[in-house]
Chains A and B, each alone.
Chain A
Amino acid sequence: MDALSATTVELDLAAVPLRTVNALLQGREVAGHDALEVDTPVTLTNPRGAHAVAVGMDTPRQVTVAGHVGYYAAGMNQRADVVIEGNAGVGVAENMMSGSVLVKGNASQSAGATAHGGLLVVEGDAAARCGISMKGVDIVVGGSIGHMSAFMAQAGRLVVRGDAGEALGDSIYEARIYVRGTVASLGADCVAKEMRPEHLEELATLLKAAGFEDDDPASYTRYGSARTLYHFHVDNAAAY
């Protein structure tokens, strides 16, 4: 169904309990409420910084949150496309599997933590630990990111249009990081790498998906694992 022609359902978080709203978004039946059709677009009003808004969805639904949200918004998302018209608290889109989450404002720490798939876009800044332990998600940040971002990042891509804080990519595995601005410092085993044609192409695709197609991919630097921590090295024994 064309989303524009479908009738949007509005749920007011000031009037409907959060658990009820989340149950409806997850396609479950709740006494006293009309069930939401799978592809009915939904707008959530009055989030007022509440935690766990729009979590655990597993259908291709469009959800717009009209305001700022608290912790773990759109966590564990599968297939749904969520737009947050405000700031997000700790752990937005944590453990996302697929679908997309767009934060129009800033995100607090641990945005996209442990996420396996999907696309997380933060138009503003993301704070510390963005993409910590990411496992396949793509994250595009319009502004800058805080310290310890992409810590132990295993797979996926992290794109930063601004600057990165201290210890970027510490103990990184096979995730790829693209930063346009400065990096305060690199974490253990994270190094700058050559931008080969496939990386320029990959980055252009990610920027386009996030709505930043005017950026020149060549103005970014790629960072990734030097792969020196993959195996125990006897010379490091004293460090343990």
Chain B
Amino acid sequence: MCGIVGLHLRNPALAPRLGELLTGMLCEMQDRGADSAGIAVYGDPRWSPAGHVTVSFVPDASCVELTSGLAAEAVAGALATAYGADVAVVDAGPTLVAHVPGGDAELDRLRGAVKEAFPEALVAGFGADVAVLKGVGHPRDLAEAYGLPAAQGWQGVGHTRMATESAVTPGGCHPYAVGPDQCLVHNGSFSNHASIRRDLVAAGAEFDSMNDTEVGARFVADRLAAGYTVETALKELLTTFDGFYTLLVADGDSFAVVRDAIACKPAVIAEHDDWVAMASEYRALVGLPGIAEARIYEPEPERIYAWTR
């Protein structure tokens, strides 16, 4: 099982409702997995203000509570010392979201500061536009703990997990956001992930978990870093990975869906003038505005469906 939801807004007027719509979608998919639920939100003004770079992290990578247990001000103080300038920290339940003004150089420094001040932390995601929230618990409880219903932005990706391949920890929680502004969620299981992991490790990749999906995410990140587009990276993933998978992959520009050749893991796409949405099941899409006019279809196996902002 596991449930996937994603929403890519075409009409900016819907941006204030992104979190509310994603919450409805995520909670509808909780029957497909209630071990954990994670979310990636692109463009939220609290988490990722324009002109800032953001690092999302779970201070205690073994956390199973709905809160990090740390005060945002204290964390901001610790990060400011490590970073050498002020750092804003937003409390999002088990995850904390830190941001500073700047670009790529500041993003690298901020990631370094998080690692220095919180060596045991799990970095959930980083970039100019994305906040990635992870935790362990029931999807509905986590959505509230993250403050998801109030989130805004132009794109969001969520996942409800039924754990099969690795431990129920924040590190096993999707989305895997291992490159700047990237995220990947997965329904299914990869069967040859261990050998691909070895190749990636040999090439210098560092892993946060023993999860199979993280291998897929690091594979895509590796290809994107080498100059591939999301579409060409996923084409190579299709020929490299064995197993069952429906994947939703997003970055700062794109939103893409792909299924393996057997296509036993479900997927439904709905396209509307105002948005593109994808979910494991149609019922997750029912609450979207204008769903009755949307074009609804099931993606075909081994075909890459991609939308660009």
Q: Measuring CB to CB, which residues of chain A are less than 8 angstroms from any residue of chain B?
A: 48-50, 68, 70-71, 87, 89-90, 105-106, 108-109, 127-128, 146-147
Check B296–A87 contact: CB distance below 8 A: yes
Assess whether B77 is interfacial by the CB under 8 Å rule.
Answer: no
Check A127–B298 contact: CB distance below 8 A: yes
From residue B150, how far is it (CB to closest CB) to chain A in Å? 25
Contact with A along B266-283 (1 / 0, CB 8 A): 101000000000000111
Check A49–B286 contact: CB distance below 8 A: yes
From residue B97, how far is it (CB to closest CB) to chain A in Å? 33
Majority SS of interface residues in chain A?
A: loop
Check A128–B301 contact: CB distance below 8 A: yes
Check A146–B286 contact: CB distance below 8 A: no
B198-246 residues with Cβ-Cβ distance < 8 A to A are none
A127 to B298, CA, bound (A): 8
Check A147–B263 contact: CB distance below 8 A: yes
A87: chain B residues within 8 A (beta carbon): 282, 296
How many residues of chain B get a CB closer than 8 Å to chain A's CBs? 16
Per a CB cutoff under 8 Å, which of A50, A90, A106 touches B283? A50
Check B282–A146 contact: CB distance below 8 A: no
Check B300–A146 contact: CB distance below 8 A: yes
From residue A87, how far is it (CB to closest CB) to chain B in Å? 6
A50: chain B residues within 8 A (beta carbon): 283
From residue A212, how far is it (CB to closest CB) to chain B in Å? 22
From residue A3, how far is it (CB to closest CB) to chain B in Å? 27
From residue A78, how far is it (CB to closest CB) to chain B in Å? 26
A49: chain B residues within 8 A (beta carbon): 281-286
Check A106–B282 contact: CB distance below 8 A: no
A128 to B264, CA, bound (A): 8
A16 to B88, CA, bound (A): 48
From residue A188, how far is it (CB to closest CB) to chain B in Å? 16
Check A70–B296 contact: CB distance below 8 A: no
From residue B248, how far is it (CB to closest CB) to chain A in Å? 18
A68-B296, A87-B296, A108-B298 known; A146-B263 Cβ under 8 A = yes
From residue B92, how far is it (CB to closest CB) to chain A in Å? 29
Q: Which residue of B lies closest to A108 (CB)?
A: B298
A49 to B25, CA, bound (A): 13
Assess whether B297 is interfacial by the CB under 8 Å rule.
Answer: yes
Check B263–A90 contact: CB distance below 8 A: no
From residue B125, how far is it (CB to closest CB) to chain A in Å? 30
Show 9 residue pairs from A and B whose CB-CB distance is below 8 angstroms, ordered by the A residue. A49-B281, A49-B284, A49-B286, A50-B283, A87-B282, A106-B298, A108-B268, A128-B263, A147-B301
The list of the 8 closest CB pairs from A to B, nearest first, reads A49-B283, A49-B282, A48-B286, A127-B298, A68-B282, A128-B263, A108-B298, A70-B283
Q: Which residue of A lies closest to B298 (CB)?
A: A127
From residue B24, how far is it (CB to closest CB) to chain A in Å? 12
Q: Apart from A49-B282, A89-B266, A109-B266, list 15 A-B contacts with CB within 8 A.
A: A49-B281, A49-B283, A49-B284, A49-B285, A68-B296, A70-B282, A87-B296, A89-B282, A90-B266, A106-B296, A106-B298, A109-B263, A128-B262, A128-B263, A128-B301
A180 to B38, CA, bound (A): 46
B301: chain A residues within 8 A (beta carbon): 128, 146-147
From residue B301, how far is it (CB to closest CB) to chain A in Å? 7
A106: chain B residues within 8 A (beta carbon): 296-298
Check B296–A109 contact: CB distance below 8 A: no
A95 to B268, CA, bound (A): 24
